[in-house]
């Protein structure tokens, strides 16, 4: 199938812009997941931040280019690390970003599938925590495994 007009337009956008859009959307998703886990509304988060509810809505739209300063404010307001660095892989609040605890890296997923009895160890570095399931026994007897780095 020949490339479409949209494909041609997308090819003209620099790759770093694609990455920026993906990172901003991922960050917004992490904040929303953390808010849900803590039972926080946008209004409550706005109060913690000293911002208007409309400003928080703009931040969480996935389209607003947040500064690192804004990300730090969100981290403090939520008392969680929204991302970690190589220098500080465990974060400033002593727990992993919520998204890191819910995701399984592709290499880990492959290891789970190819290494019975499904006891794979994390392979993506110190900030990865793997949540997997034991596939031994009946479905109702399956229990979660948790591997923390």
Supply the pLDDT for residue 98.
Answer: 53
Please state, in angstroms and rounded to a whole number, the distance separating the CA atoms of residues 43 and 24: 21
Helix (H, G, I), strand (E, B) or coil at 26: helix
HSE-CB of 59 using CA atoms within 13 angstroms: 24
CATH class of 5-97: mainly alpha
In the chain, CATH 1.10.260.40 sits at: 5-97
Helix (H, G, I), strand (E, B) or coil at 131: strand
Give the residue-averaged pLDDT of 120-146.
42
Q: What is the pLDDT of residues 80-125, one digit of tens each?
A: 888 766 666 666 666 555 555 544 444 554 555 555 554 444 444 4
Output the six-digit token pair for 112. 């789970």
Please state, in angstroms and rounded to a whole number, the distance separating the CA atoms of residues 49 and 42: 10
Q: What is the pLDDT of residues 3-25, one digit of tens each?
A: 788 878 878 878 888 788 888 88
State which H helix or E strand residue 44 sits in: helix 42-49
Please state, in angstroms and rounded to a whole number, the distance separating the CA atoms of residues 52 and 91: 27
User: Which is more confident, 90 or 134?
Assistant: 90
- Report yes or no on whether pTM surpasses 0.85: no
> Confidence band (pLDDT; 50, 70, 90) for 142?
very low
Output the six-digit token pair for 144. 């979660």
Please answer whether residues 72 and 85 qualify as being in contact, where contact means their C-beta atoms are separated by less than 8 angstroms: no
Q: What is the pLDDT of residues 31-87, one digit of tens each?
A: 999 999 999 999 999 999 999 999 999 999 888 888 889 999 999 999 988 876 666
Supply the pLDDT for residue 77.
Answer: 94
């Amino acid at each position: 199938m020949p490339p479409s007009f949209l494909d041609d337009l997308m090819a003209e956008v620099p790759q770093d812009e694609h990455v920026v859009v993906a990172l901003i959307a991922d960050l917004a998703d992490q904040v929303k997941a953390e808010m849900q886990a803590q039972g926080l509304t946008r209004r409550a988060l706005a109060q913690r931040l000293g911002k208007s509810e409309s400003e928080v809505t703009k931040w969480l739209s996935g389209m607003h280019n947040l500064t690192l300063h804004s990300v730090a404010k969100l981290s403090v307001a939520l008392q969680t690390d929204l991302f970690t660095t190589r220098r500080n892989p465990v974060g400033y609040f002593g727990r992993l970003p919520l998204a890191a605890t819910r995701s399984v890296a592709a290499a880990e997923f492959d290891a789970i599938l190819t290494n019975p009895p499904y006891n794979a160890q994390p392979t993506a570095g110190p900030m990865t925590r793997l949540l997997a399931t034991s596939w031994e026994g009946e479905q109702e007897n399956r229990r979660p495994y948790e591997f923390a780095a």
